[in-house]
């Protein structure tokens, strides 16, 4: 049974898993990245011919998108327990953006792997035990606290195991793609750059860029850019001291007529009418 459950839609989830029975090989397709801290019992992970056995002195980091088989064995006194931390690639991308030194770490030839195995030290042992204590007591962790605890763990791993995070097959690749797209969009949202040019800046085809963009933002790049630019234009117009002819370039348009047409598409009125009614 689980002491508390997780929702795959949540960007970060920390929960306690426990069982009193051995489990046969369970087939798992990971939709999120997962830290697995074993507290009691043994765990065996099977992946593409690889077999790894984990004991309570170790923990795993598994990357999203991989197909694995997992087998759990209870401890001698009849219990299997683990603390699990799942998180999506957007959370990882946010972490990499706030810690750019991670991506700049020189690791030589990186062999992509579906999971990483770590040995617990005093810090990690205390980290795991503190989470287990809170979860066993039934105290809920807020979304902010779960994110803070995940960041604490990631920072520790970056500082003490440099280059390890980049080894994961999907985490490094997908997070890297996401970071590049988000950086390109934020840097050019106020400039007259179109979607084809953004795709070029991200070194990808237009179709690939659109697909990745939709996965990150949940909409098409054209629609997202239009809404963001028009939202900024509306804020500028509401101030009352700016005319459409003075702000169209500031929100990424090369001519006034295209800006007026786009604004009317979103708000149903011209910039001047919008300003008069505000």
* Structure-model confidence comparison of residues 166 and 195, the more confident one: 195
Do residues 256 and 248 lie in contact, with contact meaning Cβ atoms separated by under 8 Å? yes
- Residue 50's pLDDT is 64
Q: How many CB atoms lie within 10 A of CB 103?
A: 14
pLDDT at position 274 over 80: yes
- Residue 257's pLDDT is 92
- Domains along the chain? 12-170 (2.60.120.280), 189-278 (1.10.10.60)
41: left (phi > 0), else alpha (psi -120 to 50), else beta?
left
Taking only the tens place, the pLDDT of each residue in 33-58 is 899 998 888 888 776 556 678 888 88
Determine phi and psi for 132, rounding to 5 degrees: -60, -40
What is the pTM for the complete model shown? 0.62
Average pLDDT value for residue range 126-152: 91
- Residue 206's pLDDT is 92
- Residue 230's pLDDT is 92
Average pLDDT value for residue range 195-221: 89
- Residue 263's pLDDT is 93
Q: Which two tokens stand for residue 211?
A: 């697909």
pLDDT at position 203 over 50: yes
pLDDT at position 129 over 70: yes
Shortest CA distance to 83 belongs to which of 22, 27, 41? 41
């Amino acid at each position: 049974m689980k002491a508390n459950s997780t929702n795959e839609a949540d960007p970060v989830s920390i929960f306690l898993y426990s069982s009193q029975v051995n489990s046969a090989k369970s087939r798992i397709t990971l939709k999120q990245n997962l830290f697995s801290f074993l507290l009691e019992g043994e765990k065996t992970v099977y992946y593409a011919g690889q077999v790894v056995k984990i004991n309570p002195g170790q923990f795993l980091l598994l990357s999203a998108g991989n197909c694995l088989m997992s087998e759990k064995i209870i401890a001698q006194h009849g219990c299997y327990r683990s603390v699990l931390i799942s998180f999506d690639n957007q959370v990882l991308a946010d972490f990499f953006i706030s810690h750019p030194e991670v991506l700049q770490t020189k690791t030589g030839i990186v062999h992509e792997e579906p999971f990483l195995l770590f040995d617990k030290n005093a810090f990690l042992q205390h980290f795991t035990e503190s989470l287990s204590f809170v979860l066993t007591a039934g105290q809920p962790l807020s979304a902010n606290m779960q994110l803070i605890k995940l960041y604490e763990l990631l920072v520790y791993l970056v500082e003490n195991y440099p280059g390890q995070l980049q080894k994961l097959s999907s985490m490094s690749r997908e997070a890297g793609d996401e970071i590049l797209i988000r950086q390109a969009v934020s840097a050019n949202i106020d400039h007259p750059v179109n979607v084809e040019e953004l795709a070029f800046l991200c070194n990808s085809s237009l179709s690939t860029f659109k697909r990745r963009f939709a996965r990150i933002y949940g909409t098409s790049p054209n629609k997202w850019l239009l809404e963001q630019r028009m939202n900024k234009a509306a804020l500028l117009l509401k101030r009352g001291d700016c005319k459409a002819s003075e702000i169209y370039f500031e929100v990424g348009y090369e001519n006034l007529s295209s800006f007026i047409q786009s604004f009317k598409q979103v708000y149903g009125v011209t910039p001047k009418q919008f300003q008069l009614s505000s």
